[in-house]
Amino acid sequence: MHRHGTVFEELAVEVMAELPTDEARCEALDLVELVRAVPRAWPDVRDPGSVEEIREAFEPRC
C-alpha cells in the first residue's frame, strides 16, 4: 500500500508541475480539497460508466 501512495504522490507532483500557472495550480488544489472533504459526492473513477459523468462535471475546467 505504501508503494501505491508513493506512486500517486509522484504522479501528483508531475501533474501539478505541468499546470501552466500558479492560478491553475491553486484551482487544482481547491478541487482536491473539495473531493477529499466529500469523496462520495464525486463520481467513482473505477466505474467505467463514470467517464461521461466526469467529463460533464469538469468540461469547463479541462
* pTM > 0.75: yes or no: no
Quote the CA–CA distance of 53 and 42 in Å, as a whole number. Answer: 9
The predicted-structure confidence for 1-58, as pLDDT tens digits, reads as follows 455 556 778 888 898 899 999 999 998 888 888 888 888 877 777 787 777 877 777 6
The pLDDT of residue 11 is 83
The pLDDT of residue 1 is 45
60 band by pLDDT with thresholds 50, 70 and 90: low
- Three state DSSP letters for 1-62: CHHHHHHHHHHHHHHHHHCCCHHHHHHHHHHHHHHHHCHHHCCCCCCCCHHHHHHHHHHHHC
